[in-house]
Amino acid sequence: MTAQVTFDFGDKVALVTGSTSGIGRATAVAFGRAGASVVVTGRREKEGAETAALVEAAGGKAFFQTADVTQPADMEALAAAALDRFGALHYAINNAGEGAYVMLEKLAAESWELEIARNLGSTFHGMKHQIPAIRKSGGGAIVNMASAAAVIGLVGMSAYCAAKAGVVAISRAAASEAVGDNIRVNSILIGAIMTNAWSGSTPEELAALSAASPMRRFGTVDEVANAALWLCSDGASFVTGHCLAVEGGYTTLQNQQYRRLDD
């Protein structure tokens, strides 16, 4: 079980994209537990309403607004909604994204464009409107969800790898531009995190994925949420332009033997 980490975001406002389930939902609820007001968003209204209710049950305030992150107008509307509903925006977690398994030579141009739009384009269009809103609110932080795929070439996921590498790069560029406005921008490399995305996997496939991790297990959504909230917190007040690996050592220890020298 993931240890519960305590943060204090009372009187702060957070926006979490893709918060109808998984990592996004866990992050939204964690903000609520810390006393924040949260803009919950995604394409699924029922699940979005459920997340908003969970945020409020945890002690925060929340409302759900439907949005498709591939649509620039929707991303602009989300930042405006935070200002209209809560009067400020301090933190943005650009979490929404998705990858498809298709070998590069069989990847249609339309599929490539969709992968880039929902993973990298959404981050660009989000920050384009989030940064002015956060500046107007006196400063804050943005966390963009990347992936281990940003630094490791994964078979059948060329578009996803390219998009997530772009997320890391645009986060660093945005950090350099926003630092003078008291806005920090960081990204997170996530690894194999246990979410519904793996629901179609066989027990053998799940065991193989666990075995590929130096920690021999999947990560939890709460572990990623804890990292995202830390990057937004005063505890990370001197951290910007950083890419934090929350992947059990997968990208940094994968070539090691994971054994004690005296075994």
Tell me how far apart the alpha carbons of residues 158 and 229 are, in angstroms, rounded to a whole number: 30
User: Residues near 93 by Cβ (< 8 Å), separated by ≥ 6?
Assistant: 14, 15, 16, 17, 24, 27, 142, 143, 145, 228, 232
CB contact at 8 A, 91 and 183: no
Whether 250 is catalytic: no
Tell me how far apart the alpha carbons of residues 141 and 110 are, in angstroms, rounded to a whole number: 33
Query: For residue 63, what are the CA distances in angstroms to 36, 45, 69, 177?
Result: 12, 11, 17, 30
Cβ neighbours of 254 (radius 10 Å)? 14
User: How far separated are the first and last CA of the chain, in Å rounded?
Assistant: 28
Tell me how far apart the alpha carbons of residues 89 and 135 are, in angstroms, rounded to a whole number: 9
**Residue of 91, 101, 160, 250 with catalytic role:** 160
Tell me how far apart the alpha carbons of residues 178 and 240 are, in angstroms, rounded to a whole number: 10
- Catalytic residue numbers read 160
